[in-house]
Amino acid sequence: MFGLLRKRGVLFIGLSNTVSQLGDRLTYMVIITLIGMMSPGRISAFSEFSATFTLPIILLSPFVGVLIDHGNKQIIMYRCHLIQSILIFITPTFIALTRSMTPVWILVVLFYSLEAFNSTSRNSVVPDLVDYDDLVPANSIINTLSRIATFIGMVGGGILIAKVGWRYGFYINATTHLIAGILVLGMGARILFEPVRKLEFSLTKELKKSFNLFLADLKELGILITKDRMVVFVMLSVLVLPFVAAVAHTVLVFLVQQQFELGTAGVGIFGGVIGIGMLLGAVLMGYFGRNICRGKIIIFSIAGLAISFFIGPFFVTPFFLYFIAFISGVIFSFIGIAQDTILQEDVIKGIRGRIFATKEFILNVTLLLSAIFVGVISNFVNPYTIIRFAGIFLFLILVFAFFIYRSIPHEIRSKL
């Protein structure tokens, strides 16, 4: 798996994503700290945070894929990182001037609007960097590097912020995104990432032509999603990760930070444990995922999450919570890498961006609705009941996913 780092494109996109993830985790720790200080004892405050960063992606996802499929993915990623760096750098000044969280929420909305373009471009460009048989290890090595950054950012973020303060936390994050953008340019010559068809924008005659192309692309995408059972299976499994993430971002972070009184440092360790699990999962997928059916990996992974959440309320202690976080991290990597690889293998290059944008749309709609739902019911039921409900919901997803998977022709399943 690590031999793929000798490929220039894999090395630089992996490093870019790693540096970017490191900065993101630092900023996450800053915001979580501010929420804990300004809204103590309120789970819904964490769900509001989740809603803020998912809503822009939901609104943009239906259009992002079309633009990416007809643009240079390398340049898109570079410009997104550059603008994100500028936005993060100026945010502390506005926080100091307004003495409120409003600049943070504005930053989150703008940042994740750009991230919709960035993440979709990154996922859809991987097949252009490696051979078909190397997709699983390539996705695994990118995820492995990313999880190392997650661990360092979450565990070290709390300690670093305590020493340097929230203002310098933002400045450090701005620097990481600037570096990430520069690293993207190292993937190779710009011409290597030119689209199959360019989408030309014009304020006069070309505007109508571009709009018609946009509608035709959306129709083509809809036909694929309704006819391709493997794509339907993946899109259904996509519901799992954001739902679990919503529960983790709201209920579990609340338990660690406030009910168990472990503070921001405890949240950092919690995130770090998840990061270690995701790192291990990515490494395991890199070495063994190529020889194991990706569909079965998704099925058994969902089952593992469902069982963990259902029995969780019977054993909720800080130690057990960290143990479940580790297991969930491993499973997250299993599911995420399997999903991306199936789509990269099953979907042709010309519409790959739209497929991944649709995946991001479903993921963030689920995260938004789940976060809002958890925030609302947290006013009426205790956190342990919410965790148990999450287990039941995952069992339902497991049943539907299993039947859809079994309906896929055997000759197609055997190839994945």
d(CA 409, CA 416): 11
Please report how many Cα atoms fall inside a 13 Å half-sphere around the Cα of residue 173, on the Cβ side: 33
CATH class of 2-191+206-413: mainly alpha
pTM score: 0.62
Tokens of 125: 């460009």
> Residues 331, 333, 337, 340: is their CA dihedral positive or negative?
positive
Neighbours of 305 (CB within 10 A): 25
Closest CA to 246 of 149, 363, 360: 363
Interior/surface letters 171-194, b for 16+ CB within 10 angstroms, e for the rest: ebbbebbbbbbebbeebbeeeebe
Biggest alpha carbon–alpha carbon distance for the chain = 65
Residue whose structure tokens are 């944008």: 357
pLDDT per position in the chain (416 positions), as tens? 667 788 888 888 889 989 988 888 887 777 777 776 666 666 666 677 777 777 777 777 666 766 777 778 888 899 999 999 999 999 888 888 887 778 888 888 888 888 888 888 887 788 888 887 778 788 888 888 887 887 788 777 777 877 787 788 888 889 999 999 999 988 876 666 666 555 554 444 544 554 565 566 556 656 666 666 777 787 777 778 777 777 776 777 777 766 776 766 677 777 778 878 888 888 888 777 777 788 888 888 888 888 888 887 777 677 777 888 888 888 888 888 888 887 777 666 666 666 776 677 777 777 778 878 877 787 777 778 888 888 888 898 888 888 888 887 776 665 55
The alpha helices in 39-134, defined as continuous H runs, are 44-69, 73-98, 102-125
